[in-house]
């Protein structure tokens, strides 16, 4: 298939559509879908196919798809499951470019259905046809030159700038139905259903070229290939806001993690990393996604985070201020000039702080003038209008009319929270030039915060790591020889021995303590003398992760005698635990510091991932970790560090704490580079990394490296 034929032109801009299964009964699927297509005012040719009716909803029908003319661009199939394949074959023979299969009963029902779905794909590929669905709810394009609607949405779709792609047709239609109260307008909607062929990335690729789509929204339940997604999502998010809701986020991942820290880089965290690195916003709920989309559709991006609140009542303004603070938005005081201008016409009892409380006697005119002045203040990046019924002798509709279409709102976002009765909202949202209107302050602030986050992200310029490439040959030489051992995944992986691990890390510029491998207690003692100062002694027990649990770690040993004696005791303890001791590692003691963990693993879906987190007991309990996808920029690694709850400890804003951050970023860069360049290292876990205040004094004190043997 060529790139051109993979486009969605015949899905969203067809010049002719056959609706196979169009029905005369309006309450049936085939009836409602056909009625919606007629009601939308589709600008192309419509061909209903119905075996029993000569005319469907006033349009002449054919009885059999074989009777359709050649060259129809799109066919919508609403036929029984067993009829889908033969009908699709006919469509292919007729030269249909895109088939939309509304019919359900395929891969969503199990293996047998999946097999039937594969056969549909075979038919489509044989004919060079694109498929939407099966088990989907069609598509919408509100472009007046097309007016396409092949959904059975119960309410007409409002025209606007939002693109929506949904893995749940029902939820997509529910979003379209609920949009009325926000007057949220859509450019296009694609219900991808089972995604036998057309998927999320196709939709994103289409919008990348579609100027009518100024905001992109997605509802996801499952997720395919991160690289394919990122390739199109990242450029899309650079040109317009992209918002995602992903359901199933709390499902405990079924991953059989091979170590406890590995398990922290869950699919959810990896997915969040993917979105963050693509510059995509993740909304917690579908409702929030709609709230945010309404703001993005109607407002310019703010220059910063400084919000002014304009209100006629104190209580809701306090709630708005609380919400701003929770979202990291700022409420600066107004400039003296602005206060002076406001004082000239607001009632004397008005409060000219931020919030500006114009008090309850203020009406539409005061709102208009105040919003104009405040939004024009160079110290303010966005305005939240709060209005509570009453303004006596006026209505909230008049307040919205007064602030609708203000010139200043083209440069500074203005959103409104109006607290009044239910019937206000749909009508008010339709006032020309109205700001996005919310029922309470919190969602309005949430939307402003989304604007500010996206705008900030657009301004970011990332600095890359300048880590040199690790010496691949030197590292490969330390990896185990090809192994003839057969067996499952576990036995295919080798755990590197400590000496080899330390050499690999050192070759990759990851600082490790000075250390020696000693086969016997006597040699351990000699090594301690050689290293000098206090040493740590660790048992080498192949395959064992938690050697401290069986007495396999001793710290702060002084000199050769004490070290040799500890090694002899360790020998006995390890034997008593039924394990085989293969020798000792003698390591210089690293002075105590902040303990971090860092690890990498290769995920089938998300590719190589890097995890940073607080070490010690707290790794597991607090799960204070950040995950990033490789490759990683230095800036992104910095953002990961500062996203940790323990960040103040690292940054030194906590008394007595603080680590050398630039060295820490160097170390992260070296680890990232190692994991990227040596894919044979399928897992690297540095636990702990003892971090120092001094430059270049961080040390990866213990490391577990897992290797996939070279073939």
Ranges within 378-397 binding a copy of itself (CB under 8 A)? 388-390, 392-393
Count how many residues are written for the chain.
Answer: 711
How many CB atoms sit inside 10 A of residue 527's CB?
24
Asked if 94 and 65 touch (Cβ cutoff 8 Å), the reply is: yes
125 binds a copy of itself (CB under 8 A): no
491 binds a copy of itself (CB under 8 A): no
Which of 499, 573 has the CB closer to a copy of itself? 573
Count the site residues for a copy of itself by CB under 8 A. 80
647 binds a copy of itself (CB under 8 A): yes
292 binds a copy of itself (CB under 8 A): no
Give one DSSP letter per residue of 482-541, joined into a string.
Answer: P----SSHHHH-EEPPHHHHHHHHHHTT-----EEEESSHHHHHHHHHHH-S-EEEEE--
> Site residues for a copy of itself, window 82-121 (CB under 8 A)?
104-105, 109
The structure tokens listed for 57 are 């909803």
Among 70, 466, 655, 711, binds a copy of itself (CB under 8 A): 655
152 binds a copy of itself (CB under 8 A): yes
The structure tokens listed for 439 are 């029922």
Which of 265, 350 has the CB closer to a copy of itself? 350
> Site residues for a copy of itself, window 437-466 (CB under 8 A)?
439-440, 442
343 binds a copy of itself (CB under 8 A): no
> Site residues for a copy of itself, window 667-706 (CB under 8 A)?
none
- In this structure, the dihedral spanned by the alpha carbons of residues 680, 641, 464 and 598, taken in order and rounded to 10 degrees, is -10
- Residue 448 CB, shortest distance to a copy of itself, in Å, is 16
Q: Which residues neighbour 536 within 8 Å (Cβ) at sequence distance 6 or greater?
A: 513, 553, 554, 555, 556, 557, 586, 587, 588, 589, 701
56 binds a copy of itself (CB under 8 A): no
Asked if 51 and 63 touch (Cβ cutoff 8 Å), the reply is: yes
Binding segment for a copy of itself (CB under 8 A), chosen from 64-72, 95-103, 139-147, 280-288, is: 280-288
Asked if 179 and 291 touch (Cβ cutoff 8 Å), the reply is: no
Q: What is the 3-state secondary structure (H, E, C) of 356-396?
A: EECCCCCCHHHHHHHHHHHHHCCCCCEEEEEEECCCCCCCH
Q: How far is CA 277 from CA 238, 328, 355, in A?
A: 11, 20, 35
Which of 350, 517 has the CB closer to a copy of itself? 350
The structure tokens listed for 651 are 């940054």
How far, in Å, CA of 679 to CA of 697, rounded?
A: 27
> Site residues for a copy of itself, window 504-543 (CB under 8 A)?
none
171 binds a copy of itself (CB under 8 A): yes
Burial class (CB in 10 A: 0-12, 13-18, 19+), 105: middle
Which of 301, 657 has the CB closer to a copy of itself? 657
24 binds a copy of itself (CB under 8 A): no
The structure tokens listed for 335 are 């400039």
> Site residues for a copy of itself, window 615-634 (CB under 8 A)?
617-618, 620-622, 624
Binding segment for a copy of itself (CB under 8 A), chosen from 164-172, 458-466, 533-541, 697-705, is: 164-172
45 binds a copy of itself (CB under 8 A): no
- Residue 372 CB, shortest distance to a copy of itself, in Å, is 24
Which of 14, 443 has the CB closer to a copy of itself? 443
Pairing outcome for strands 681-691 and 55-56: unpaired
267 binds a copy of itself (CB under 8 A): no
170 binds a copy of itself (CB under 8 A): yes
- Residue 424 CB, shortest distance to a copy of itself, in Å, is 9
Among 549, 561, 572, 696, binds a copy of itself (CB under 8 A): 549
> Site residues for a copy of itself, window 581-610 (CB under 8 A)?
594
Which of 420, 635 has the CB closer to a copy of itself? 420
- Residue 95 CB, shortest distance to a copy of itself, in Å, is 32
- Residue 516 CB, shortest distance to a copy of itself, in Å, is 27
Among 360, 520, 635, 643, binds a copy of itself (CB under 8 A): 360
The structure tokens listed for 111 are 């293996």
Binding segment for a copy of itself (CB under 8 A), chosen from 320-328, 365-373, 527-535, 672-680, is: 320-328
Q: Which residues neighbour 529 within 8 Å (Cβ) at sequence distance 6 or greater?
A: 559, 560
Which of 221, 227 has the CB closer to a copy of itself? 221
656 binds a copy of itself (CB under 8 A): yes
Which of 189, 465 has the CB closer to a copy of itself? 189
- Residue 477 CB, shortest distance to a copy of itself, in Å, is 35
How far, in Å, CA of 17 to CA of 10, rounded?
A: 9
553 binds a copy of itself (CB under 8 A): no
Could you give phi then psi for residue 558, rounded to 5 degrees?
Answer: -110, 115
- Lay out the site mask for a copy of itself across 219-248 (x = CB under 8 A, - = otherwise): x-x-----------------------x-xx
Binding segment for a copy of itself (CB under 8 A), chosen from 413-421, 467-475, 572-580, 628-636, is: 413-421
Q: Which residues neighbour 441 within 8 Å (Cβ) at sequence distance 6 or greater?
A: 316, 317, 319, 320, 323, 384, 386, 417
Among 107, 168, 277, 467, binds a copy of itself (CB under 8 A): 168
Among 419, 505, 517, 610, binds a copy of itself (CB under 8 A): 419
How far, in Å, CA of 555 to CA of 566, rounded?
A: 10
The structure tokens listed for 630 are 């490789």
Pairing outcome for strands 307-311 and 356-357: parallel
| HSE (side-chain half, CA atoms, 13 Å) at 695 | 2
321 binds a copy of itself (CB under 8 A): yes
Angle among Cα 133, 160, 451 to the nearest 5 degrees reads 100
- Residue 118 CB, shortest distance to a copy of itself, in Å, is 19
Give one DSSP letter per residue of 16-78, joined into a string.
Answer: EEEEET--S-TTSHHHHHHHHHHHHT-SSEEEEE-SS-SEETTEE-BSSGGGSPTT-SEEEE-
SS3 674: helix
Among 144, 315, 378, 679, binds a copy of itself (CB under 8 A): 315
Among 260, 398, 472, 639, binds a copy of itself (CB under 8 A): 260
Helix axes 286-298, 441-459, angle to 10 degrees: 70
Binding segment for a copy of itself (CB under 8 A), chosen from 278-286, 486-494, 677-685, 702-710, is: 278-286
């Amino acid at each position: 298939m060529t790139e051109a034929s993979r486009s969605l032109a015949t899905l969203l801009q067809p010049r002719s559509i056959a609706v196979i299964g169009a029905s005369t009964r309006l309450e049936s699927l085939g009836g409602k879908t056909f009625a919606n297509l007629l009601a939308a005012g589709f600008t192309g040719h419509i061909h209903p196919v119905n075996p029993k009716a000569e005319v469907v909803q006033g349009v002449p029908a054919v009885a059999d798809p074989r009777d359709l003319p050649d060259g129809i661009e799109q066919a919508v199939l609403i036929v029984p499951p067993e009829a889908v394949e033969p009908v699709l074959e006919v469509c292919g023979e007729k030269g249909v470019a895109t088939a939309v299969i509304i019919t359900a009963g395929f891969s969503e029902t199990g293996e047998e259905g999946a097999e039937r779905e594969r056969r549909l794909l075979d038919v489509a590929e044989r004919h060079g046809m694109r498929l939407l669905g099966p088990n989907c709810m069609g598509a919408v394009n509100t472009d007046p030159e097309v007016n396409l609607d092949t959904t059975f949405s119960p309410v007409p779709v409002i025209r606007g700038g939002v693109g929506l792609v949904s893995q749940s047709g029902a939820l997509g239609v529910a979003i379209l139905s609920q949009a009325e109260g926000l007057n949220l307008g859509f450019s296009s909607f694609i219900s991808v259903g089972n995604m036998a062929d057309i998927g999320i990335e196709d939709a994103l690729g289409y919008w990348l070229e579609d100027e009518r789509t100024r905001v992109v929204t997605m509802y996801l339940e499952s997720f395919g290939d991160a690289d394919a997604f990122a390739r199109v999502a990242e450029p899309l998010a650079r040109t317009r806001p992209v918002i995602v809701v992903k359901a199933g986020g709390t499902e405990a991942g079924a991953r059989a993690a091979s170590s406890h820290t590995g398990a922290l880089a869950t699919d959810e965290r990896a997915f969040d990393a993917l979105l963050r690195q693509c510059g995509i916003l993740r909304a917690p709920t579908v409702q929030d996604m709609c709230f945010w989309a309404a703001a993005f559709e109607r407002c310019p991006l703010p220059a910063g985070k400084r919000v002014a609140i304009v209100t006629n009542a104190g209580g809701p303004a306090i709630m708005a201020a609380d919400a701003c603070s929770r979202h990291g938005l700022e409420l600066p005081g107004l400039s003296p000039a602005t206060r002076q201008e406001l004082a000239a016409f607001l009632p004397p009892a008005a409060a000219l702080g931020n919030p500006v409380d114009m008090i309850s006697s203020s009406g539409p005119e005061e709102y208009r003038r105040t919003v104009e002045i405040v939004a024009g203040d160079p110290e303010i990046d966005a305005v939240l209008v709060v209005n509570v019924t009453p303004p006596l002798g006026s209505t909230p509709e008049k307040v919205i009319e007064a602030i609708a279409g203000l010139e200043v709102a083209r440069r500074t976002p203005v959103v409104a929270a109006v607290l009044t009765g239910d019937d206000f909202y749909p009508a008010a949202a339709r006032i020309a030039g109205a700001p996005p209107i919310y029922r309470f302050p919190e969602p309005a602030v949430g939307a402003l915060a989304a604007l500010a986050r996206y705008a900030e992200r657009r301004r970011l310029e990332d600095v890359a790591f300048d880590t040199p490439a690790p010496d691949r040959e030197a590292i490969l030489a330390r990896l185990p020889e090809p192994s003839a051992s057969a067996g499952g995944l576990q036995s295919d992986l080798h755990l590197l021995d400590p000496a080899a691990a330390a050499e690999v890390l050192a070759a990759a510029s990851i600082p490790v303590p000075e250390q020696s491998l000693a086969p016997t207690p006597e040699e351990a003692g000699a090594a301690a003398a050689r290293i000098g100062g206090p040493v740590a002694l660790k048992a080498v027990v192949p395959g064992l992760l938690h050697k401290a649990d069986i007495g396999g770690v001793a710290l702060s040993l002084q000199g050769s005698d004490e070290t040799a004696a500890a090694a002899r005791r360790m020998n006995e303890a390890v034997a008593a635990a039924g394990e085989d001791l293969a020798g000792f590692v003698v390591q210089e003691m690293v002075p105590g510091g902040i303990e971090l963990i860092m690890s990498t693993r290769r995920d089938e879906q998300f590719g190589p991932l890097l995890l940073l987190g607080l070490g010690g007991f707290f790794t597991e309990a607090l799960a204070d970790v950040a995950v990033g996808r490789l490759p990683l920029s230095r800036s992104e690694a910095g953002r990961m560090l500062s996203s940790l709850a323990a960040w103040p400890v690292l940054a030194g804003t906590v008394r007595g704490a603080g680590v050398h951050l630039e060295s820490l970023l160097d170390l992260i860069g070296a680890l990232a580079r190692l994991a990227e360049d040596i894919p044979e290292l399928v897992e690297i876990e540095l636990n702990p990394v003892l971090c120092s205040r001094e430059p270049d004094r961080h040390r990866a004190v213990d490391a577990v490296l897992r290797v996939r043997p070279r073939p």
